[in-house]
Structure 1
Amino acid sequence: MNAREQLLKRFMLEALRTLRLVRIFTDRDLSIRPAEGSMSTAELIEHIAASQNFTRGLFAEPTPTTELFRRPYDVSNAAIAAQVLAQSIQEVRKAIEQCPEEWLEQRIAPFGPDWELSRVELAHLMVDHEIHHRGQLYVYARIAGHEPPVLYAPVSEEVLEL
C-alpha cells in the first residue's frame, strides 16, 4: 500500500467513526457546552468540518493556508450537521484521490516555518486532530444522555448515506 492509499484508508476510517458519533446527536444536544470556554456541540462539529476543509486543501490547493479553517458550515440542526460532515468527508476523499503525485511528499509550512512537513504528514496530523475532537464529542454524547457507539467497532461507508 502506498502513502496515498494508507492516508486515504486512515482518513476514511477515522472520519466515518466521527460521523457515526455525530449522527447520535439531536437538535437539543447542539447547544451543550460542558464548561465555560468550551465549544458547543454544534461549534465542535463545525470545527471538525472546517479542519477537514484544511485537509482537503492540503491536496487541492497549490499553497494551502490556515484560511481554509475559516470556511463556515451550517450546523443549525443535527441532521444538517451530519450531512455537512458527510459532504466534507467526500470532498477530502476526492482531493486525496485526485492530488498530483508530486504533491504528496512536497514539504509545506501552512502553520509557519517550524511546522514544515509533507502534505501527507500534515494530513496525518489533521487526522490526529480530528480524533482528539471526536474524543470530546464522546463526552458531549454522554452528557446528553446518549450511549455513544463503541469506539473501535467496525464502521462502513454506509454511515455516509444515513
Structure 2
Amino acid sequence: MKETSTTLATDTFMTPAQLLKHWQLHRNLTRKMINTFPEDKIFSYSVGGMRPFAELAMEFIGMAVPTLTGIITEKWEQFKHEEAPATKQDLLDLWDEQTEIIDTLWPKISAERFNDVVLAFGQWEMPVYLLVLYVVDNEIHHRGQGYVYLRSLGIEPPAFWDRE
C-alpha cells in the first residue's frame, strides 16, 4: 500500500478578517430584522414568555463591544449605556454606533490572540475564537425568535441568507 501525505498550505481555516466579515454579515441581517419590526411591537411583542426583540438586540449590543474590549484589555466590564433606546430608530442608531466600534476594535486583536484562553466576564473560560463565535451564535439563536415574532404578526421577515 502506498503512503500518501497531504500538506496544508496554512493551518488557519479562517483569518481574523474573514471572521469579522462573517460576524458583520450576521449583524447586517440582525439590523434588517430590527428595521422590519413595527415601531409599536419591537419593544413589547413577545411569544410564549420570550423577551421582546428590542431586549434581545440590547443583549447583542451588550455582548459585542464589551467582549472585544475584554479580549484586548483583559478588563471584562458590562455594557453601560445612559438610557435604553426609546424608539426603533434609537435602537438602529445604537446598533450602527456599536458596529463602528467593532470595526475600530477588531484590528487591535492579533491573529495569535484568537488561540489564547480567556476567562470572559469571570465565568466563560475558552479560547478567544470560541468566545467570538459564541457572541455570533447567540445573536443567530435569538434572531430566530425574531423570525417567529414577525411571522406571528403576519410580517415576512428578511431572508435568513440575505446578509449583505
With the shorter chain as reference, the TM-score category is: 0.7 to 0.9
1:34 corresponds, among 47, 61, 71, to 47
Unaligned runs of 5+ in 2: 1-11
Q: Which has the larger radius of gyration?
A: 2
Kindly state the Cα deviation for residue 108 of structure 1 after the two structures are TM-superposed: 0.5
Q: Is the 8 A contact 2:60 2:135 kept in 1?
A: no
Matched AA of 1:108: V
2:150 corresponds, among 134, 141, 145, to 141
1:63 corresponds, among 56, 74, 90, to 74
1:159 matched residue in structure 2: none
Structure whose residues are more often helix by fraction: 1
1:99 corresponds, among 87, 105, 109, to 109
Matched AA of 1:33: S
SS of 1:117's partner is strand
> After superposition, where does 1:119-138 map in structure 2 within 5 Å?
119-138=128-147
TM-score (norm 1): 0.79
Q: Is the 8 A contact 2:70 2:120 kept in 1?
A: no
Q: Is the 8 A contact 1:57 1:64 kept in 2?
A: yes
Q: Distance in 1 between matches of 2:160 and 2:31?
A: 12
TM-score (norm 2): 0.78
1:19 matched residue in structure 2: 31
Provide the aligned C-alpha RMSD in A: 2.2
SS of 1:146's partner is coil
2:3 matched residue in structure 1: none
2:92 matched residue in structure 1: 82
1:52 matched residue in structure 2: 64
Q: Is the deviation greater in 13-22 or in 70-79?
A: 70-79
Q: Is the 8 A contact 2:45 2:149 kept in 1?
A: yes
Q: Distance in 2 between matches of 1:101 and 1:17?
A: 26
Total equivalences in the alignment: 150
Q: Is the deviation greater in 48-57 or in 143-152?
A: 48-57
**What do residues 1-54 of structure 1 show as CA deviations (whole Å, max 9, x unaligned)?**
753122112111111111111111122012102123x21222112112112233
Matched AA of 1:35: G
